[in-house]
Amino acid sequence: MKQRRFHIIKPEIRVLGVDDGPFVPHTKGYVSVIGVVFRGGYWLDGVMHTKIEIDGFDATEKIATMITVSPHYKQLRVVMLNGITFAGFNIVDVKALNAAIKLPVITVTREKPDFAEIRKALQNLSCSEERWAAILNAGEPIEVFTRSAQAKIYMQAVGISQEDAQKIVRLTSTRSNIPEPLRVAHLVASGIGAL
């Protein structure tokens, strides 16, 4: 899918933030994945939910379905993921997700991914080459400063220009260095996982 250019990024742009809940590594089972819909970085408009397998291979498909069947889907303009690894090493192929949902996808992490360590860890899992290919599909992470010169995060973007992706990340980082849709998705996912 080609890169989307926004002529004007509205302050109330509908952004979906997606994060997974807590889980015990190296176990069998499923993990909750939560999506929260925000208008810009200020108003929570909705919540969606799915489950994915720990270290499985279903994150891209399950998240795409969660989004496209949601009543909020038609209002969404951008999807933000808290990284690309969910439930251990259940990796979201952001290019495939972008094609499935027909929306730009931005990944955000606090730390720059250590690709050598990730590749090494993948050797212990089935479909390691497919998982590695999905990681490469996200592209090279770039530094973004959100609220100040010290507030650095890393971003990857598919289906949207780097410039527009950075603007949206900054616009939605209203209460912390992390975009509000992701911050709230993390809080909700953590709470549900603790139940």
The chain-wide mean pLDDT, for the chain, equals 92
8 assigned to some structural domain: no
Q: How confident is the model at residue 49 (pLDDT cuts 50, 70, 90)?
A: very high
Residue 122's domain comprises: 14-193
156 assigned to some structural domain: yes
CA 180 to chain centre: 12
What's the full length of the chain, in residues?
195
Q: How many CA atoms lie within 13 A of 111 on its CB side?
A: 3
Q: Please check the confidence at residue 7 and state whether its pLDDT lies above 80.
A: no
171 assigned to some structural domain: yes
pLDDT score for 2: 65
112 assigned to some structural domain: yes
pLDDT score for 21: 95
Closest CA to 126 of 31, 47, 24, 56: 56
Number of domains in the chain: 1
Q: Please check the confidence at residue 194 and state whether its pLDDT lies above 60.
A: no
User: What CATH number corresponds to the domain at position 47?
Assistant: 3.30.2170.10
5 assigned to some structural domain: no
